[in-house]
Structure 1
Amino acid sequence: MQKNENIVITGAAGFIGSYLVGYLNSLGYENLILVDDFSAEKKVHNYTGKKYLHKVHREQFFEWCEHHPGSVQYVFHLGARTDTTEMDYNVHKKWNVDYSKQIWELCTANNIPLVYASSAATYGNGEHGYKDDNDIVSQLHPLNPYGKSKNDFDIWVMEQKHMPPFWAGVKFFNVYGPNEYHKGRMASVIFHAYHQIKKNGSVKLFRSHNPNYKDGEQMRDFVYVKDVASMCIWLMQNQPKSGLYNVGSGKARSFKDLATAIFTTLNLEPNIEFIDTPEDIRDKYQYFTEADMSKIMKAGYNQPFTSLEEGVRDYVTNYLEHEAYF
């Protein structure tokens, strides 16, 4: 990836996409083409002050490419409908399947390397583990329409005979960090817990409805957005074997650990209350996720992963306390 080559980032006004834009800027990459629906006022701060060549509305992107042949050298396709509470599959299908197919075909036809966002939501309850194995994709059972749409695209990818010169489907686990301020209910637990603690001096976590887990000991692979950007860029720069790659920390931590890390950062005694998990997500709730990170590490990725405590400290101290953006 050369500094004078043009890089497309879809979802560039969103959480991970805008962070990736800032991260690329920090490495000296400014030939960026930002693709998104830029009409949402709440996302404006995510790309204000960033350095880029063009801003293209997602509905006009393919037409723009026709009028600018040869203008794109790399694509990070991070744009998606990410609302896990949206139960209408067709809403997810439009952006997570059909639009992604168009991106794939564009990259294939023009010989453009592609990194696209899949999701750990594809793993469902983890009956088949959390291993980024291309061969088990058709056996996975996601728990909601969002996860199904992401897995349906992965399945479609596996069936393709024609493909980009390099592709990686990155399975994001529980990502947290700056630039997620606009996400509302879908923002990370860390974001919501911080605001609860600042307002009430306490935090509410979901009670366990599974006898195998005590309250607050449900576990997730929480991954700091800085590590996510680092892995995405590494994949594009190094282009190991094409395929699916987990993007997590490789270490499951409990929600209790997470809350305690926030209290510690704020120099407060932990004060945790438990509430029932909302019924609309209760039967689709994951109690444990942990990324198997061996594939990307065997491919040569050797950067240390940010611990939950380090990530929370950085996020709270340098961003949430000042409502700062990256």
Structure 2
Amino acid sequence: MIVVTGGAGFIGSNIIRGLNQRGEKNILLVDNLVNGHKMKNIADLDIADYMDKNQFIEKIDSPHFFDGIRAIFHQGACSATTEWNGQYVMSNNYDYSKRLLHNCIARNAAFLYASSASVYGTGANGFRVDRASERPINMYAYSKFQFDQYVRGLIAKTDIPIAGFRYFNVYGPREQHKGSMSSTAYHFNQQIIAQGVAKLFQGSDGYSDGEQRRDFVYIDDVVDVNLWFLDHPEQRGIYNVGTGRAESFNAMANAVIAWHGRGQIDYIPFPEHLIGAYQSFTEADISGLRDAGYHKAFLTVAEGVKRYLDWLNTP
């Protein structure tokens, strides 16, 4: 059996979709469906069983509970960057992850988990997978960073497949439940439909209006990386998952406008509360992926937005 935690969420549900496309259906989906709208993400997926996150956590250390599990895709986490209850965040993102990892080690199961590009903070020190670049600026980022540190200290002491993925700005199908945390591609699409205007921030940090740049990576590419590492258990470590090519918010908005064949951009004042706490530039150093042997090209914003909106705007 394969376990996917956070399996009803954005990335988790797409990983299950990718597994289904391979014919994999012996899947345990773990999630918290307090937000029942997430069921729309999994209604077309095939799984063997569902388990509530709290029930799963209670059973993690039970004898034989992990017997027969060959891999865990650990995507579940408290992902709110505005959550400052450190005890809560560390319990959900750090302690929970450690328990899963140690049970995988005990049962010789692969452990593939979600880290985050947020560990790089404002990006002032670059985006390489090394300690010098890592400077988290909120509790969510710190919890991801600290678990990566724990993995670094443990990975040489075990030979099970372990891979952590620092996702950059992921966008694509099955993210609509995230509300304000959904991607700019999703929000620009909704704005063009409702008002014909995509709203972008005015210039900041030396960037002109809408020219702040992010490494936008399409969800299908993220899934492909995860499944590639499942197929290549000899490759172990922590990896950036992005395109390696930053593109502007203007490029994202213009791709959405091009798909609709109408619309314009409106630049709004940069929020004061984000000054000094905003990533105006991100660009994944993907040399680690390439060195591991993953050589597939990533979709550009123009390619990914077209694929996304073809799906998103189909009744």
Could you list the per-position Cα deviations for residues 235-289 of structure 1 after superposition, in whole angstroms to 9, with x for gaps in the alignment? 11112432111111111000000000000011125x1111223333332100110
Amino acid at match of 1:182: H
What is residue 121 of structure 2 aligned with on the other side? 124
Q: Contact between 1:144 and 1:284, CA under 8 Å: does it hold in 2?
A: no
The SS at the match of 1:118 is strand
What is residue 219 of structure 2 aligned with on the other side? 225
* Separation in 2, partners of 1:185, 1:280: 16
What is residue 248 of structure 1 aligned with on the other side? 242
The SS at the match of 1:116 is strand
Q: CA RMSD in A?
A: 1.7
Question: Is residue 145 from structure 1 mapped to residue 111 from structure 2 by the alignment?
Answer: no
What is residue 280 of structure 1 aligned with on the other side? 273
* Separation in 1, partners of 2:178, 2:209: 26
Structure 2, gaps ≥5 residues long: none
> Alignment length, in residue pairs?
312
* Separation in 2, partners of 1:171, 1:240: 19
Question: Is residue 310 from structure 1 mapped to residue 303 from structure 2 by the alignment?
Answer: yes
* Separation in 2, partners of 1:234, 1:241: 10
Amino acid at match of 1:165: I
Matches within 5 A, 1:78-89: 78-89=75-86
Question: Is residue 30 from structure 1 mapped to residue 22 from structure 2 by the alignment?
Answer: no
Could you list the per-position Cα deviations for residues 52-105 of structure 1 after superposition, in whole angstroms to 9, with x for gaps in the alignment? 111111112244453534121101101111112223323321211111111111
* Separation in 2, partners of 1:60, 1:102: 14
TM-score (norm 1): 0.91
The SS at the match of 1:322 is coil
Higher mean displacement: 159-168 or 99-108? 159-168
Could you list the per-position Cα deviations for residues 19-69 of structure 1 after superposition, in whole angstroms to 9, with x for gaps in the alignment? 111111011111111111123211011111311111111112244453534
Higher mean displacement: 75-84 or 62-71? 62-71
Question: Is residue 171 from structure 1 mapped to residue 178 from structure 2 by the alignment?
Answer: no
Question: Match for 1:51 among 35, 46, 49?
Answer: 46
* Separation in 2, partners of 1:314, 1:162: 42
* Separation in 1, partners of 2:158, 2:123: 29
What is residue 189 of structure 2 aligned with on the other side? 194
User: Relative to structure 1, is the Cα distance of residues 237 and 200 closer, same or farther in structure 2, using a 3 angstrom cutoff?
Assistant: same
The SS at the match of 1:246 is strand
Q: CA deviation at 1:290?
A: 0.5
Structure 1, gaps ≥5 residues long: 1-5
Q: Percent identity?
A: 39
Amino acid at match of 1:125: T
Q: Contact between 2:13 and 2:174, CA under 8 Å: does it hold in 1?
A: yes
